[in-house]
């Protein structure tokens, strides 16, 4: 395991680097378009040059992680985001015209996007490259200086990210700090101009509490129990294939993985059988299959076993199509895909975010019952609905609340450059990706260019000493009441 070094030394370095970055930002603000493009170019090239090492580092942290999944789910989306950002950055940086209130015409208004200063990024372990460096792309595009704290649970990847960033960025511009949990707590206590954290809701509370001491604005990308709802008219085999693919990528260790499935009672057995076929086709021997990812730790694997045993003890039927060797889980850090039939609210699998390869199946008698089931729970990071009827789709979209939605598939709303990605309520706050990320890490500064005519009018009628003309003007601007329009509002 990589050595993070003496924590007290890293702590002193952390505070020193923050001061250095603050000073450097003041010296160089605002960074021009060319400099921002230069930074993005350098980041793109260092990722492309180190693809094989990235795959090896992530493999080391997980014990086993499919190289195909690392390229597909981390390297490609990150590279694609950098290229998209480079293409659009100039237009994002332009001041945008805004309409001045008619009372102030012929004055004019603008919105300027200004870099905030020093941005802090706390990355997670489940996608340690993408979810650590994607916020960096957005923050650099917005003209900020950045400090990055990768997850200590993926130490090999953290050290590689630090090495890569050191080769392309001076420390006063972008720097990586590696260390354990204590350093993460100290990191979140720095008075950043913005802090983004990706991880669990429990840790997110600590991060937000620490940031509040400095009134630091935060973006929290958390998780929760993202439901997949399958209408009985949708082809069951297609729904099972798409849900299982998203669920078992990275062995379920994905914040937007479908956490549980809602199906009608008449379609449950057909859906479970279809899931079994998908699992047997994709991962016939997960204990030795290099395309099937390990859990990040023995503790994570043991937690999966406990969730399954709790569900079984409370009356659920557990289907594990591929193997009966789950007792080897703790030593090998691999847990085979499992389906929980007859899952109910008393089971831990329906109370906790699973974050692993367990798929509970819940039966609901109607779309309305399903929507009420979802609404009674904390708002999820994602919702997946399978249906081809436009009116029902519109109803689900309008009556459910979630961070994002993919209709007729799972997860693919996340890499869309022009869609904001973020949670709501318990699943997070704020959003990023594409222009939305540029906007998150920028100050939208409103500017009014007042005309001389407006200034004369204000001085004549709306500044002391007031006169009867002022009162007449204010009455005109305010308007007269309509007694018949005053009534109690009902729902």
Active site residues: 221, 255
Alpha-carbon gap, residue 63 to 287, rounded angstroms: 12
Extract the tokens encoding 158: 């953290």
Extract the tokens encoding 279: 């699992």
- Of 452, 56, 384, 26, which is closest to residue 225 (Cα–Cα)? 384
Extract the tokens encoding 280: 């047997």
Q: Tell me how far apart the 2 most distant CA atoms of the chain are, in Å.
A: 89
Chain centroid to CA 481: how far? 47
Which positions ≥6 away from 434 have C-beta within 8 Å?
Answer: 81, 84, 85, 88, 417, 418, 419
Instruction: Tell me phi and psi for residue 59, to 5 degrees.
Output: -60, -40
Other Cβ atoms less than 10 A from the Cβ of 118: the count is 26
Alpha-carbon gap, residue 382 to 385, rounded angstroms: 10
Give yes or no for a contact between 247 and 450, defined as CB atoms under 8 angstroms apart.
Answer: no
**∠ CA 70-73-78 to the nearest 5 degrees?**
100
- Of 356, 91, 116, 369, which is closest to residue 219 (Cα–Cα)? 116
- Of 207, 148, 198, 208, which is closest to residue 178 (Cα–Cα)? 148
């Amino acid at each position: 395991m990589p050595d993070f070094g003496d924590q007290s030394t890293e702590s002193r370095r952390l505070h020193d680097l923050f001061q250095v970055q603050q000073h450097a930002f003041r010296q160089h603000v605002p960074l021009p378009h060319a400099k921002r493009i230069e930074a993005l170019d350098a980041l793109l090239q260092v990722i492309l040059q180190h693809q094989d090492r990235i795959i090896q580092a992530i493999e080391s942290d997980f014990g086993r992680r499919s190289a195909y999944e690392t390229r597909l789910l981390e390297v490609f989306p990150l590279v694609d985001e950098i290229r998209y950002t480079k293409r659009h950055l100039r237009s994002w940086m332009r001041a945008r015209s805004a309409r001045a209130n008619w009372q102030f015409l012929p004055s004019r208004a603008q919105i300027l996007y200004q870099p905030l200063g020093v941005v802090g990024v706390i990355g997670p372990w489940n996608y340690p490259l993408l979810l650590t460096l994607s916020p960096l792309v957005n923050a650099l595009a917005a003209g900020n200086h950045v400090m990055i704290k990768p997850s200590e649970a993926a130490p090999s990847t953290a050290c590689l990210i630090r090495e890569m960033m050191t080769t392309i960025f001076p420390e006063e511009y972008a720097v990586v700090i590696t260390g354990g949990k204590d350093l993460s707590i100290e990191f979140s206590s720095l008075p950043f101009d913005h802090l983004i954290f990706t991880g669990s809701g429990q840790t997110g509370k600590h991060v937000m509490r620490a940031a509040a001491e400095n009134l630091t604005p935060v973006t929290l990308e958390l998780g929760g129990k993202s439901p997949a709802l399958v209408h009985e008219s949708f082809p069951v085999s297609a729904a099972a294939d798409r849900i299982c693919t998203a669920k078992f990528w990275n062995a379920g260790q994905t914040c937007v993985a479908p956490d549980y499935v809602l199906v009608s009672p008449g379609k449950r057995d057909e859906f479970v059988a279809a899931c079994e076929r998908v699992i047997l086709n994709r991962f016939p021997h997960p204990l030795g299959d290099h395309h099937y990812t390990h859990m990040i730790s023995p503790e994570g694997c043991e937690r999966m076993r406990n969730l399954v045993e709790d569900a079984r003890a409370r009356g659920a039927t557990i289907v594990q199509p591929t193997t009966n060797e789950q007792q080897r889980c703790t030593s090998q850090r691999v847990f085979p895909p499992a389906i929980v039939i007859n899952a109910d609210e008393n089971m831990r699998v329906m109370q906790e975010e699973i974050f692993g390869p367990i798929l509970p199946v819940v039966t609901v008698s109607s779309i309305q019952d399903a929507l009420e089931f979802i609404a009674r729970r904390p708002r999820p990071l994602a919702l997946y609905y399978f249906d081809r009827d436009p009116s029902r789709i519109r109803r689900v979209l309008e009556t459910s609340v979630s961070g994002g939605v993919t209709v007729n598939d799972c997860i693919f709303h996340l890499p869309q450059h022009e869609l904001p990605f973020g949670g709501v309520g318990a699943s997070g706050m704020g959003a990023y990706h594409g222009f939305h990320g540029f906007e998150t890490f920028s100050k939208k500064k409103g500017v009014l260019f007042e005309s001389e005519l407006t200034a004369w009018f204000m001085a004549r009628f709306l500044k002391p000493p007031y006169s009867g003309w002022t009162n007449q003007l204010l009455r005109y601007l305010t308007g007269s009441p309509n007694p018949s329009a005053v009534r109690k509002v009902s729902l």
